[in-house]
Structure 1
Amino acid sequence: MTLRDSTPVLTPLQALSRYREDLGVRLADNRMGVVPGVIGTVFFERGSQPEVRQAILACFDRFDELFGEHLKGGKDADLGKFSKRNAAGVEKIRRAITDTPSYSQVSVLRSSATDQDTAADYNIQTLTGIAIPQDYVSPTGRLRVPKGKESGLSLLKFNVPMELVTTDEGLAQYETFLRFVCEKLVVRGGYGGLAPVLAFSYHRYMPQEWALASRFSGLEIDSTAHLQSREYDPVSYEGESTDDMTAVYEDLRPGAKVGRWGFIKGVNWYTILGELFIERLGGEAAIRARLDRADIGVERVNACLLIRAGEFPRLGAPEEGLPEPYVFVNGVLRVLRDPKPDALHTHIPDLPSADAKNARAWVARFDLPDAPALREIPAIVPQPDRHERTRQNVAGGSPCPEAGWWQTPAKKGSRRYFNVGEIMPVIEGSAWGATVWQWSPGES
C-alpha cells in the first residue's frame, strides 16, 4: 500500500454531502455569512494601463456569460455602495473598469449577493494598481520616480459554489474560466481551490475562516487576498535604506539591496507560477520533469504555468488526512514560499485566527516532517554565475546570446529556436508591453 491509497479520498460531491452544514455559517435571519466555494485568485501586472483594463473587462464579461443569471448585486467603486444592480447598474460597473483614469484604482465587483453582509455563491472582483500621476521626488531628493510608473500588482479573484464542481460540466466551467483569466492577464502568481467564501464584510467571519481551515487542510484562507499582492512583487533598491533610496527597481537587480524578494503564498489544487517563479525553479522543463506524474497537470497559459494537484479539488477532511497530490506538488514548490510569512488575518482580540504564528504553521501544512528549513533571503541580490548570465531575459531587437529555445510572454505560442547572434524580434502592439525573450529549455 502506498501513501496515495492509504487513506480515503472524498470527491467534491462526497465531501459536500458529508460536510455541507459544517462548511457554512448561517445567520439568525437565515442568510449565509460563510458558504463553501471554489476560488480563483491571481495577481497580475500593469493593471493601470488601458489595454489591461480592457482585459479585466473581458474577464468580467466572460464571467457574466457563464454565470450572469446568478449575478444580482455589485459595487462600482472602493467606497461605493454594495447593492442590487439592474442593467444600468451593471453598465456602471463595466464603465468603471475601462473609464477610471490610470492614476486611480479600480475597485469593483459583481456578485450573487445584494448586500455586503451575505456571502456570495458567485462573485468576481478586481483591485488594480495605479500609475503615478506626477513625478515623485523623495524627501531627501535622492530618489526620483517619473510620472506614469506603475505602482504595485493588481488583483482579480472570483468564486463559484462548491456544488458547481461536483459535476464534470461544472468542473470544466471553473477550469475554463481560470484559463481565460490567465490568457487575458499577465499573471505573476495565484492559486485556486476549495475555500470558505466570506461575506464582503469579512472581518467578522475571520475566526470561522480560521476554524474551517484548521479542520480541513484543503481549504484556502483568502479573505485578505487584497493584502497579499506585495508578496508576489519583488523590489530591489540602492541607497542607505528604504527611507533614503537613490534608485528603486521593479526586479531583483544583481548587486542591489533586497526590498522584497517575492514569494508565493503556498500550494492548493491549482498553483499558478509567473515567469519569476518559473525561473527560480530552473525553468519550465525542469518543473515539468520534477512534477512528471499522471495525476499532476502542468499547463502553460500565456505568461504563467498552471499546476494542478489532482483531477479535482480536495477538502482535506480529517479522515482523508493531507491531500497527497498537494503534498507532492508542495515538495517541489515549497522553496518559493516566504520562510517567515506574515499574518493572513488582521488582528482579532481574544479569538484564534491566522495570526503570524498560526499562518506560518498553516502555509507549511503540506511539508513533510523531514523537510529542510527554507533558505533565508539575502540582503543583497546575488550575481548570477557566468552561465546563468547568458540566459537572462533578452530585449526584443537584441542578438541572441546563446543558441537554444526561447519564448516571450508578449505573444502566445512564441517559443522558437534561435542561433547565437540571431536578432530576436520585437512583437508590436502586444498588451504585455515591451518584448522580452526568456530562455525556454526542453525539446520542441
Structure 2
Amino acid sequence: MTLRDSKPVLPPAQALARYKEDLCVRLTDDRMGVLPGVIGTVFFARGSQPDVRQCILDCFDRFEKMFGAHLKGGKDTDLGKFTKRTAAGVEKIRRAILDTPSYLEVSVVRSSATDQDTAAEYSIQTLTGVATPDDYVSPTGRLRVPKGKESGLSYLKFNVPMDLVTTGDGIAQYEEFLRYVCEKLVVRGGYGGLSPILPYSYHRYMPQEWALAERFSGLEIDSTAHLQSRDYDPVSYEGESKDDLTAVYDHLHLGAKVGRWGFIKGVNWYTILGELFIERLGGEAAIRSALDKPDIHIEHIGSSLLIRAGDFPRLGAPEEGLPEPYVFVNSVLRVLRDPKPDALHTYIPDLPSADTKNARAWVARFDLPDAPPIPETPKVVPQSVKRERARLSVPGGSPCPEAGWWQTPAREGSRRHFEAGEIMPVIEGSQWGTTSWHWSPNES
C-alpha cells in the first residue's frame, strides 16, 4: 500500500458535500457571514498609469461578462458606500477606474452582495498604487523623486463560489479568467485556491477564518490581501540611513542596501511567480525541471509563471492530510517565502487569529519535517546572482552534480549526503511519481 492509498482525496464536489455547513457562517437574518469560495489574488505593477487602468477595467468587464447575472452591488471609492447598483451605478464604478487621477488610488468593488456585511459568492475588487503628484526633494536635499514616480504595487482579487469548481466546466471558467488577468496585467506574484470568503467588512470574521484555515490546510487566509502587496514589492536604497537617503529603487539595485527583498506568501492550488521569483529560482527551465511531475501544470502567461498543483483545488480536510501536490510544489518554492513573515490578521484581542506566531506556522504547513531553514535576507543586494541550476533539481537515477546534502519529497526523512558522481536513487512506488532531488544547505 502506498501513501496515496492510505489517504483519501476529496474532489471539490465531495469536499463540499461533506463540509459545506462547516465552511459557512450564517447570520441570524439568513445572510451569510462566511462562504466557501475559490479566489484569485494577483499583485501587479504600474497600477497608477492610464494604460494599466484600462487593463484593470478590461478585467472588470470580462468578469461582468462571465458572471454578471450574479453581480448586484459594489462601491466606487474607498470611503464610498457599498450599495445595490443600477446600470448607472455600475458605470460609475467603471468610470472611477479610468477617471481617477494617477496620484489617487483606485479602490472599487463589483459584487453579488449589496452591502458590506454580507459575504459575496462572486466579487472582484482592486486597490491600486499611486504616482507622486509633484517632484519631491528630501529635507536634506540629497534625495529627489520626480513627479509621476510609481509608489507601491497594486492588487486585484476575485472570488467565485466553491460550487463552481465542482465541475470541469466550472474549473475551466475559473482558469479562463485567471489567465485573462495574467495576460492583461504585469503580475509580480499571486495565488489561487479555496478560501473562506468574508464580507467586505471582514474584521469581525477573522477568528472564524483562522479556525477554518487551521482545520483545513488547503484554505487560503486572504482577508487582508490588500496588505500583502509590500511583500511582493522589492525596494533597495542608498544612503547612511533610511532617514537620510540619496537614492531609492523600486527594484534590487546591485550594491544597494536592501529595504525589502521581495517574497511570495506561500503555495496553494495556483502559485503565480513574476520575473523576480523566476530568476531567483534559476529561470523557467530550471523550475520546470524541478517540478517535472504529471499532476503539476506550468504555464507562462504574460510576465508570470502559473504553477498549478493538481487538477483541482484541495480542501485539505483532516482525513486527507496535507494535499500532496501542494507539498511537492512547496518543496521547490518555499525558499521564496519570508523567513520571518508578519501576521496575516490585524490585532484581535482575546481570540485566536493569524497573528505573527500562528501565521508563521501556517505558511510553513506544507514544509517537510526535515526541511532546512529558509535563508535570511541579504542586507546588501549581491553584486552578482549565481544561478545554481544544477543544484535546483536532479532527477533520480542521475549522477550527483555536486557533493553535499540533498533531499526529495518522494520519501519522508530523505535528507542525506551525496558525493559528486554518486547515483541519486529513484524512490520506487512513491506517490510523487518522478523522483527529484533538491539541494539542501549543509548541516551545522
Gaps of 5+ in 1: 389-444
Deviations 1:290-317 (A, max 9, x none): 0011100000001000000000000000
Gaps of 5+ in 2: 389-444
Structure 2 distance, partners of 1:243, 1:354, is 32
The reply on whether 1:73 has 2:70 as its aligned counterpart is no
Structure 1 distance, partners of 2:164, 2:260, is 38
Deviations 1:397-425 (A, max 9, x none): xxxxxxxxxxxxxxxxxxxxxxxxxxxxx
Structure 1 distance, partners of 2:119, 2:243, is 41
Structure 2 distance, partners of 1:374, 1:291, is 19
Any conservation in 2 of the 1:316–1:322 contact (CA below 8 Å)? Answer: yes
Structure 2 distance, partners of 1:163, 1:241, is 52
Q: Which moved more, 1:280-289 or 1:378-387?
A: 378-387
Structure 2 distance, partners of 1:374, 1:4, is 28
The reply on whether 1:311 has 2:311 as its aligned counterpart is yes
User: 1:265 is matched with which residue?
Assistant: 265
User: 1:231 is matched with which residue?
Assistant: 231
The reply on whether 1:44 has 2:48 as its aligned counterpart is no
Shift of 1:5: 3.5
User: 2:140 is matched with which residue?
Assistant: 140
Q: Which amino acid aligns with 2:347?
A: H
Q: Which amino acid aligns with 1:217?
A: S
User: 2:21 is matched with which residue?
Assistant: 21
Q: Which amino acid aligns with 2:276?
A: L
Matches within 5 A, 1:35-434: 35-384=35-384
Any conservation in 1 of the 2:281–2:387 contact (CA below 8 Å)? Answer: no
Q: SS in structure 1 opposite 2:74?
A: strand
- CA gap of 1:171–1:140, structure 2 versus 1, over 3 A, is same
**TM-score normalised per structure 2:** 0.86
Deviations 1:314-345 (A, max 9, x none): 00000000000000000000000000000000
Shift of 1:137: 1.4
Any conservation in 1 of the 2:282–2:387 contact (CA below 8 Å)? Answer: no
Shift of 1:386: 8.3
User: 2:399 is matched with which residue?
Assistant: none
Any conservation in 1 of the 2:23–2:35 contact (CA below 8 Å)? Answer: yes
Q: SS in structure 2 opposite 1:230?
A: helix
User: 1:401 is matched with which residue?
Assistant: none
Structure 2 distance, partners of 1:22, 1:142, is 57
Runs of 4+ aligned residues of structure 1 deviating over 3 Å after TM superposition are 1-5, 385-388
Deviations 1:353-372 (A, max 9, x none): 00000000000000000000
Q: Which amino acid aligns with 1:328?
A: F
Query: Structure 1 vs Structure 2: percent identity of aligned residues?
Result: 81
Deviations 1:108-127 (A, max 9, x none): 01000000000000000000
Structure 2 distance, partners of 1:34, 1:140, is 50
Q: Which amino acid aligns with 2:377?
A: I
Deviations 1:225-265 (A, max 9, x none): 00000000000000112121110111111111000000000
Shift of 1:6: 2.7
Any conservation in 2 of the 1:268–1:326 contact (CA below 8 Å)? Answer: yes
- CA gap of 1:3–1:141, structure 2 versus 1, over 3 A, is farther
User: 1:440 is matched with which residue?
Assistant: none
Structure 1 distance, partners of 2:387, 2:357, is 40
Shift of 1:387: 8.7
Structure 2 distance, partners of 1:196, 1:138, is 44
Q: Which amino acid aligns with 2:40?
A: G
Q: Which amino acid aligns with 1:295?
A: D
Structure 1 distance, partners of 2:233, 2:57, is 23
Structure 1 distance, partners of 2:279, 2:213, is 31
**Count of aligned pairs:** 388
Q: SS in structure 1 opposite 2:262?
A: coil
User: 2:436 is matched with which residue?
Assistant: none
Structure 2 distance, partners of 1:70, 1:56, is 20
Q: Which amino acid aligns with 2:306?
A: L
Any conservation in 2 of the 1:42–1:156 contact (CA below 8 Å)? Answer: yes
**TM-score normalised per structure 1:** 0.86
User: 1:435 is matched with which residue?
Assistant: none
Q: SS in structure 2 opposite 1:172?
A: helix
Q: Which amino acid aligns with 2:343?
A: A
Q: SS in structure 2 opposite 1:110?
A: strand
Q: SS in structure 2 opposite 1:46?
A: coil
Q: Which amino acid aligns with 1:371?
A: A
Any conservation in 2 of the 1:3–1:324 contact (CA below 8 Å)? Answer: no
Shift of 1:4: 3.3
Structure 2 distance, partners of 1:385, 1:157, is 32
Structure 2 distance, partners of 1:86, 1:269, is 35
Q: SS in structure 1 opposite 2:327?
A: helix
Q: Which moved more, 1:30-39 or 1:136-145?
A: 136-145
Q: SS in structure 1 opposite 2:4?
A: helix
Q: Which amino acid aligns with 1:246?
A: T
User: 2:2 is matched with which residue?
Assistant: 2
Q: Which amino acid aligns with 1:22?
A: D
Structure 2 distance, partners of 1:51, 1:84, is 29
Q: SS in structure 1 opposite 2:213?
A: helix
